[in-house]
Structure 1
């Protein structure tokens, strides 16, 4: 008979080697096994778990014992999030346990890494995902988060009595707050969820019946490249007028007729290199003028 003790408990937790399940020692209360002992026992259980058939009673015993023995890892990870202000600690422990189970199902002794090192990122990852999925879309002070709940209850209560949506003044009187505080709470409540641009816009005038309207993304304004081109052409026109006839002709051949530099050189009876220098000089002049205009 071997026994181990949990650091925070006075009673002993029994690990009885004389009672076995699938050649594994029977752990009377796996949740009370001290972390130090859980570390060594876990290696024994993981080694046997890999040889057992999933779904059998023996497999479930080994897996469940591993979960219970290593719940202290979840407690350890959860303490990092106790001051986040979102969710109850029980919820954090629950989602952290999901991470622990995932780690147990994916751990292999051949990894040559301690299970604690392997498991903690899984546990923390699940907890972070919980906060990501349930937290406010933007940071809102705790008092305003609590006010949102109070406002929701007050609006429901007054709506039933008044048979209409209550005014800010009526909400303020019921909650014994100033109207400014009510307005601040109503504005902050918009940060609880982030609306998707794919959400149908039911107010769209041209929405087909029964479709709920087009998505907001479909009706949002966007930059029109044609407008920018029009503005550039308006700015460019007076600059083009300042060029001499030869420079205008070169631009016309290059960009209007899409002639190559070699073809332009033959037309002007100059080298291709000279045409390149002329084009660079003309374009530099226009570019400088455009920058000055803007």
Structure 2
């Protein structure tokens, strides 16, 4: 989804926001001032009978907060989705928040808008940005949790607790926590990430290494029936070569054959065992 082909997004609004609203961070003083203006405009829009005038008032609020939409999208840059797509998602969510905002609930528009924009940006990652994809049920629940957070924030006037989200959705709290933890699946953590109190180690050093003993034990279990089926002389040659670590000349002297015969026996037996193991795997 690109900014230019989103037919539902008024191009004039985007141009106006670029010229009137700075991209920089929103200060506390500025946020409070714009919050008061937003409340007044949206309250006026809610009581407006003319749909065009109501839309104009809502769009003015959107223009006023486009800098906040870009700042929300910027928090998620560099995670595998184009920044312009994230900005587009945040802008559309801001427009949706302005259209759906109910000033009679006594909730600040900024609080509602931020939750709505954050949820929409995260939905972009849910649909397009998974690097490590969790079970589909967790993906669906994460989307439901995101929507529930926006609804409850509008109702409560604050960010909801995990318990409140779980009750709203009718699911266990542990499921909500698992869905929230899936946010980290968009971009895996680097194995070179410093860890430890002094940062003198890296994450990769803490991961368990492959246990060679387990692989050897598995090989023995798979080989045992095939080895038992070999003729006695073949088993003896294998035993002397791989368990007693004897050379081919030592084996030849012990079983009274030539070294060339030992080499042929080993080649034939190993080919046979390899073929039987390939059929098992």
TM-score for both structures, normalised by structure 1:
0.37
Select the structure that is richer in strand: 1
The one of the two structures with greater contact order (alpha-carbon pairs below 8 A, sep at least 6) is 2
Select the structure that is richer in helix: 2
